[in-house]
Structure 1
Amino acid sequence: MSSTGNTRVAIVTGGSGGIGRAAAQRLAADGMSVLVHYAGHPARAEEVVAAITAEGGTASAARADVADETQVAALFDTAEQRYGGVDVVVHTAGIMLLSPLAELDLDDLDRMHRTNIRGTFVVDQQAARRLRPGGALVNFSTSVVKIGQVGYTAYAATKGAVDAITLILARELRGRDVTVNAVAPGPTATPLFLDGKDEETVDHLAKLAPLERLGRPEDIAETVAFLAGPARWVNGQVLYANGGIA
């Protein structure tokens, strides 16, 4: 389970599902040792670990509430103890609760604020303190911030905050040789996105992009791998990965 030599080490939050799983598997395929974070689905996280190790990669799983600073500090401790340090943090963990603003249950707003905004602060704080030189932090935003789809007010607002955190933190890490960027996916075929949508809605969303399909988790993982690896001159950016919707 330990990592040796010059192997880079990645923590992927939300690594048990959807985009997080694809990102974890892609970074492992690129030769990184991966700590797969999960919040409430240990079996799914272990499936990701098993898939990575079956391909000859190195991975293990660990649980944390991303909004709890003590648990997230322990998550980073685990990565350092198992693999020797942290070079890449991919923060995909988030929740999406949809409603027009006028009908929004403010408890849903508070839940998203805790996970999506506070969680990003907590994870990014540990990343800022611990990433080694040559490291990369990849946050997750959403194309809805720019597209402005109805019903996404509260969710998009939390991700607008992620954009701001990303742009400013990149500048706060001046001199550290650590990049900070965010990926802003468009409609992507994940359980989180597809939940509660009828076929007509999904078909409509699939047609929005000039490529006339939904994104795939692997498409987003490709973008993550770029930012986590070769893209050293991309910094302080929100990269829209949406097939050209806007």
Structure 2
Amino acid sequence: MNSHAHVPEWTLVSLRPRGQHAAMRRAAQALGGQLLALSPWALLARTDAITRSALAQGLQADRVVFTSPAAAHAAARLAPLADPHPGQWLAVGAGTAAALHSHGAREVAAPERMDSEGLLGLPELAQLQGRSVTLVTAPGGRGLIAPTLEARGAQLRRVDVYTRTPLTPAPRTLQRLRRQPDPWVLALSSAEALAWAVTQLPPDLLARLRASTVVAASERLATLAESDGFARIHLAQGPQPLQLAQAAHAVVTARAPD
């Protein structure tokens, strides 16, 4: 055990969007680790009249699916999120539901399994023949939801309320990553973020990251990480920052010498 309690004993690598790392940092620090933020993109809310009009129409659908907390917050800037009727509004997970609650919505359904598969397993999305469904989301991401809803007979509308602006890893961030001592643990909650890391990181850092441990938010992400050359992969209980940090800490603790 490190005798200096203030010195982190492990590093959690976060692939959250720029400005979205605070909760993950707090979770890691509470468990004796430190966080290195490696943002693949920045989020930019859309405020134009066309998006505002599309959202106003989309919120009248039989089912409205919010795919992320960012989607909920961006939507709230465009239209009041008054209480829907029961079963109308759905969130991909607890974080997205909490974001909707923060803007005044109370009737929001969310799955215990906080991923695309869990969302699609909700009874509200089982029988969709002839029903209108709106996805409140951003370009790219969560490619399983839309085709599955359409296959179930939904009349699907997509409203992109924010965009992702790709970022290039800053040299200072890369140097800081190189200086980080082992062990590293990669927190994985996005397939697109993983693809960004694989294509954007320099070879030396990518090799070192692949040699580290991944804590994946779902089995689907674990499979993707394995196909991208990551060998040590563990499942977290879900995509929440605390769940990922706890999984990372468990891995580090299990590997620590007596």
Using the size of structure 1 for normalisation, the TM-score is 0.33
Instruction: Looking at secondary structure, tell me which structure has more strand per residue.
Output: 2
Higher helix share: 1
Structure number with larger C-alpha Rg: 2
